[in-house]
Amino acid sequence: MNAQLDISQNKTLLWLMAIACGLCAGANYYCQPLIHSIQQYYQVPESQVALTVTFAQVSYALGLLFIVPVGDIVNKTKLIPLLMFFAAIGLLICAFAVNLPMLWVGTVIVGLFSVAAQVLIPLATMAVRPEKTGEVVGFLMSGLLVGLLLSTSLAGLLSNLFNWRLIYIVSSILMLVLAFLLRKRLPHVPTIKMSYGKIFKSMATLLNEEKRLIYRALIGGFAFGAMSILFSTIAVLLTSKPFELADVMIGLVTLIGVFGALSTTKIGKIADRGHTDLLTWIGIVVLAISWIFLYFGGKSLISYMLGYGVINLGLAIVHTSNQNIIFRLRPNAKSRINSIYMTVYFTGGACGSALGVYAWHHGGWTMTCLVGLSLVIGSAFFACLDRLLVNKKIAA
């Protein structure tokens, strides 16, 4: 109980955890605006450099699946700083890479170990009073989402002002400092005795027994997929007519999403009052409305920016509601639950990015918006199934 009281009242620790979440999340996105600069530096085909983004996504997904569940069986206060240390090493390898394969190695290491953020969040839910779960998760998610949104802007800005390597050097130093600060501040929470091999057997059991986990993961996956369409199309849209924006300006456009990210603490407080289903539907409606703004954003930059801000808000509402629900399913399996949820979530994001590229090349911006709206409808479909499941349990 002391640990619970400490973390809910210790604002310094919560800020350190939120910054760590943002730094870890952002580390996987630095390469996206730097592809051209990296291509010029190494003098290799741009298609090869673009593989760096793929390596970052795949390695992060592998970390979610194979490293995050370990949080249930080992001391998280030691695991989290260790993961951050290895992520910092990966960033340093990227910073001083003498060739592209070395950059790929560093990128893979960063992707695998930056999942420290996804161990931090379950830890926070175990070290806070149940009625504060949503508020604390929302606060940490604010840090994570802001870090994600700022990463590409800062990487592009530092690259234009100085050198593309600088963002890797600065973030690695910050990662090491945060790992050191968190090492003795993180609260101790209970672990369970289980072998690494049995973790995955238990995760299969969770999937079989917790249907709500499946539905909530799919709600999140489709919602993040709808958002991720913008990740793969924003540059091609805003660098073409009528916009013809520079890379730095595109990065500044994405900063409008910070307002949605900062709303997660308030959303978490509302979720703590038991309004998760209502919030889910509000989030889905907001996501649908965002695609109306985005459609007209094909010709109007103001409309595009409004849509980008609204879609970030909708995703924050859906994601925060989902996490409030899933972390209450099995108190002793939060890391494994988060591993399942986030693996589906980021798989949805990867699929959304791929669909965005396909839609753009086969039907332009109109087709892209239709695909985005279709993914929102997919999220609504699984929200209906989740509601039916809850009603069935209540009736029983």
How do residues 105-144 score in pLDDT, each as one tens digit? 999 999 999 999 999 998 988 888 888 888 888 889 888 8
Q: What is the pLDDT of residue 205?
A: 93
337/248 same-domain check: yes
155/226 same-domain check: no
Show which of 125, 159, 191 is a domain's final residue: 191
Tokens representing 19 are 């910054």
Show which of 138, 165, 191 is a domain's final residue: 191
9/94 same-domain check: yes
CA angle 326, 327, 331 (to 5 degrees): 125
Backbone Cα Rg of the chain: 20
The answer, yes or no, to whether residue 265 has pLDDT greater than 80, is no
Q: Residue 273: which residues within 8 A CB-CB, separation 6 or more?
A: none
pTM (2 d.p.) = 0.85
Question: Around 135, how many Cα atoms within 13 Å sit in the side-chain half-sphere?
Answer: 14
Read off the pLDDT band of 1 (50, 70, 90): very low
Q: What is the pLDDT of residue 247?
A: 66
At 337-383, the pLDDT tens digits run: 999 999 999 889 888 888 988 999 899 999 999 999 999 999 999 99
Helix (H, G, I), strand (E, B) or coil at 334: helix
The answer, yes or no, to whether residue 79 has pLDDT greater than 90, is yes
258/332 same-domain check: yes
Element (H, E) at 301: helix 301-326
Q: What is the pLDDT of residue 141?
A: 84
Q: Residue 330: which residues within 8 A CB-CB, separation 6 or more?
A: 206, 210, 336, 337
241/350 same-domain check: yes
Q: Domain holding 375: CATH number? A: 1.20.1250.20
Q: Residue 19 and residue 11: Cα distance in Å, rounded?
A: 12
Read off the pLDDT band of 315 (50, 70, 90): very high
324/218 same-domain check: yes
Q: What is the pLDDT of residue 173?
A: 97
Share the mean pLDDT of the chain. Answer: 89
Helix (H, G, I), strand (E, B) or coil at 254: helix
40, 54, 87: which is closest to 231 by C-alpha?
A: 54
Question: Around 29, how many Cα atoms within 13 Å sit in the side-chain half-sphere?
Answer: 21
CB 199 within 8 A of CB 74: no
Q: What is the pLDDT of residue 370?
A: 97
Read off the pLDDT band of 168 (50, 70, 90): very high
Q: Residue 98 and residue 142: Cα distance in Å, rounded?
A: 35
CB 67 within 8 A of CB 189: no
CB 129 within 8 A of CB 4: yes
Q: What is the pLDDT of residue 264?
A: 81
DSSP 8-state assignment for residue 115: G
CB 117 within 8 A of CB 21: yes
DSSP 8-state assignment for residue 256: G
36/99 same-domain check: yes
Helix (H, G, I), strand (E, B) or coil at 74: coil
Read off the pLDDT band of 250 (50, 70, 90): confident
The answer, yes or no, to whether residue 332 has pLDDT greater than 90, is no
The answer, yes or no, to whether residue 87 has pLDDT greater than 50, is yes
CB 178 within 8 A of CB 55: no
- Within 10 angstroms of residue 54's Cβ, the number of other Cβ atoms is 12
Q: What is the pLDDT of residue 241?
A: 87
22/136 same-domain check: yes
Q: What is the pLDDT of residue 8?
A: 63
Q: What is the pLDDT of residue 223?
A: 97
| Domain span including residue 358 | 194-396
Tokens representing 391 are 């009603």
Q: Residue 42 and residue 122: Cα distance in Å, rounded?
A: 40
186/211 same-domain check: no
176, 143, 184: which is closest to 14 by C-alpha?
A: 143
187/282 same-domain check: no
Show which of 191, 210, 229 is a domain's final residue: 191
Q: Residue 83 and residue 62: Cα distance in Å, rounded?
A: 14
Say how far residue 105 (Cα) sits from the centre of its chain.
22
311/385 same-domain check: yes
Read off the pLDDT band of 32 (50, 70, 90): confident
φ and ψ at 116, to 5 degrees?
-50, -35
26 CB burial (10 A radius; 0-12, 13-18, 19+):
buried
Q: How many domains does the chain have?
A: 2
The answer, yes or no, to whether residue 4 has pLDDT greater than 60, is no
Q: Residue 236 and residue 209: Cα distance in Å, rounded?
A: 44
Q: What is the pLDDT of residue 344?
A: 94
Read off the pLDDT band of 2 (50, 70, 90): very low
Residue range 201-219: mean pLDDT, rounded: 94
162/270 same-domain check: no
Q: Residue 281 and residue 62: Cα distance in Å, rounded?
A: 31
* Percent of the chain residues topping a pLDDT of 70: 98
Q: Which position has the higher pLDDT, 87 or 190? A: 87
